[in-house]
Chains A and B, each alone.
Chain A
C-alpha cells in the first residue's frame, strides 16, 4: 500500500479521486474481493453490494478519525472492528427493511462486508491519522472506486451471461447467453481478464515513457 502520509500536500479532491483510479482498491491493489465477487453476477447486485460497502467505509472512517486521539494503540484494531461491525449490522438491518428483495439475494454476504480487507485497511492506513473531513472523502473515494470496479465486473457478467444489463434486454433473441459467466467460474474469469487488461495497459504506458 503506497500511502504518502503527508496530509497537507493532498487536496481534498485528490483524496477523493485517488480511490477511483490511481489507487483503485480492486484493480490496482486487488483487495477486498473475498466476499464481494460472490454477488457480482448481476449489475444490480454489484451496485447494491458496492454502495453498502461505501456506506460502511464512510461512516467507519468518520467515527474512527473523530476518535483517533482517544483510542490507545494497543486496542485500536479491536476498536476499529467493533465500529465496523456496528456499521455493517446497521446497513444490514436498513437493507432488510427498505429493499427486502436485494437483501434476500445478497444474503449473508452483506454481513461479510465486515471482513472486507479494504475497510479495516483504510481505517489503519488513513482514518487513524487524518481529520474527519479528509477521512470521509478518502472513504467515499475508495468506496466508490470499489463500487465502480464491482459494477464493471457485474455488468460484464450480466451482459454476457444473461444478455441483459440492469434487467434490460440488450440483444435480439438470437443471442445465446454464456451461462458460465453468471456462474462462479465467470467471476474468476472476469476479474482475471480485467486484471490482465490493467497489467497490459500499465506496461504499455511504461514502455511508451521509456
Chain B
C-alpha cells in the first residue's frame, strides 16, 4: 500500500523465518484466547435468544399452546427428540414441534418451511391441526420481500386472518381479496399476489411432505394412550 512504509529504518533487512512464524503464532494464540473467551461468554445468551425466538413463534402459530416438544423425522417416522442439552443448541434439522395446552391436550403441530418468494427465500412456520386438517396459524420468520408490497405477508393483519382456520383439503386455493367462500381459500394481498401465492405454495408443499408422517405419529400416539 504505502511504499515509504515498507522501508522504514527500524525494520531489519531480513528477519529469520523463525521470527516470522513466532510472531504469527503469538498473534494467533492471543486471538484464539480472545475468540474462545468471547464465544464461551456469549454462547448461553445466544442460545437463550434463539430458544426464546423459536418458542415465541411456536406459541404464536399454535394459539392456546403452553408447552411443546420437538419431533424429529427418522426413516419416515416422527420421534420425540428428548435430549434436553442438545435441544439447547437449537432443534436439529428436519424437526417439527408438537404444542400442548395447559391440560396436556395436543393443540397442533408447528412446522417450519421455506419457499422461493418474489425476491428471495421466504422462511415461515405454520400451525397445523391434524384432527381438523386445518392450518391454525402462520408467521413469516424471514423474508426479503419488497417493502411496502410483498412484505405485507408479514404485516397485513387481514392476510394473516386467512390462516386462522384454513382447511388444507382438497387443496389450498388463492382467490381475490373479498372473494373467500370456502374454508380452503386464501385471499391474496392486492399488489402482492406473487408473494401471497408463494406463501400458499410454501404451505401446500410442506403439508404434502409432512402430512403422512404426522398422521402416522398421531395414530401411534393415540394407540399408546389406549
**A and B touching (C-beta < 8 Å)?**
yes
Q: What residues make up the interface of A, taking CB atoms closer than 8 Å to B?
A: 3, 5, 41, 67, 69-75, 78-79, 82-83, 85-86, 89-90, 93-94, 96-98, 100, 104, 121, 124-125, 128-129, 161-162, 177, 179, 182-183
Say whether, besides A73-B11, A179-B146, A183-B146, A90 and B1 are in contact (CB < 8 Å): no
| Bound CA–CA A90/B39 (angstroms) | 8
Note all chain B residues with C-beta closer than 8 A to A75: 20, 23-24
**B:10-52 near A, CB below 8 Å:** 10-12, 15, 19-20, 23-24, 27-28, 31, 34-35, 38-39, 41-42, 45-46, 49-50
CB distance from B182 to the nearest CB of A (A): 34
A interface SS class: helix
Chain B residue, CB-CB nearest to A79: B27
| Bound CA–CA A125/B1 (angstroms) | 8
Q: How many A-B residue pairs have CB under 8 A?
A: 84
CB distance from A68 to the nearest CB of B (A): 10
Note all chain B residues with C-beta closer than 8 A to A124: 1-2, 5
CB distance from B106 to the nearest CB of A (A): 30
CB distance from B187 to the nearest CB of A (A): 23
Note all chain A residues with C-beta closer than 8 A to B6: 73
Note all chain A residues with C-beta closer than 8 A to B149: 179
| Bound CA–CA A74/B4 (angstroms) | 14
Chain B residue, CB-CB nearest to A179: B148
Cβ contact within 8 Å between A86 and B146: no
| 21 sampled A-B residue pairs with Cβ under 8 A | A67-B27, A69-B10, A71-B23, A72-B11, A72-B19, A73-B8, A75-B24, A82-B24, A82-B31, A86-B34, A89-B35, A90-B35, A94-B38, A97-B41, A97-B46, A98-B45, A100-B49, A124-B1, A124-B2, A129-B5, A179-B149
